Amino acid sequence: MGSGKSTLALQIHHNLSSRGLRGLLLTKLEPDGAQVTSRLGVSSPAVDISATPNLVALARQHMPLDFLVCDEVQFYSIEQCDELAVIVDNLGIDVYSFGPSTSAGVMLRIGMYPRRGSIQCFQAFSLNSRVLGAILRFDFRDCPILDL
C-alpha cells in the first residue's frame, strides 16, 4: 500500500497511449468508481470490470488493442486472471498488472513462459501454468518445471 502502483499504472498507460498504441485501463472495486487515481492526485478514466463477465469478450469488443493495464488485480477473480493469459496468448495483447505484494491470497494465475505477447506483473504472483507440448496446462502432475 502506498508504493506507487497506481501511479506506475497511470504512467504506463499514458506513455503507451502517447506513442500511438491502443489500450485499455482496467480496474475493479476502485473507491473512486470507473477511474484509476494515484495518491499524487493524478487520475484517468478506466473500465470498471466488476460486472464484466468475460475479459476476452471485452478485449475483442475494443479491438484493435495493443495493451491492457490492469490495476487492483488482487480483486480480479481467478477466471478473470485466467482470461488475461488467454488475451496474451490468443490475441497477442500485452498485459501490465498491478496489485499489492503483501495481500494475503493474491495470486495472479498467469504463467510467464512462453508467451506471444508479454505480461508484466507488478505484484507477487504465483506461476500456475506451464506449456507442455502445445497445450497450456494448469495441472502440474506431468509438467516439468524448468529454470528459464
Query: If you write DSSP's letter for every residue of 109-136 in order, what string do you get?
Result: ----SS-SS-EEEES------EEETTEE
Average pLDDT over residues 93-97: 87
146: in domain: no
Arithmetic mean of pLDDT, 85-103 = 78
**Residue 142 forms part of a structural domain:** no
The set of catalytic residues is: 72
Q: Is the peptide bond before 64 cis (omega within 30 degrees of 0)?
A: yes
Does some domain include residue 143? no
Is 144 a domain residue? no
The answer to whether residue 16 sits within a structural domain is: yes
Domain-embedded: residue 147: no
Task: State the CATH number of the domain containing residue 117.
Answer: 3.40.50.300
Q: What is the largest CA-CA distance in the chain?
A: 49
**What percentage of residues in the chain have a pLDDT greater than 70?**
64
Domain count within the chain = 1
**Beta partners for 67?**
23, 94
In a domain, 148, yes or no: no
pLDDT of residue 65: 95
- Of the pLDDT bands very low, low, confident and very high (cuts 50, 70, 90), residue 1 is low
Question: Is 76 a domain residue?
Answer: yes
Domain hosting 14: range is: 5-137
pLDDT level of residue 64 (50, 70, 90 thresholds) = very high
d(CA 78, CA 50): 13
Asked whether residue 117 carries a pLDDT value surpassing 60, the answer given is: no
Whether omega before 114 lies within 30 degrees of 0, making that bond cis, reads: yes
pLDDT of residue 23: 96
> What pLDDT score does 37 carry?
83
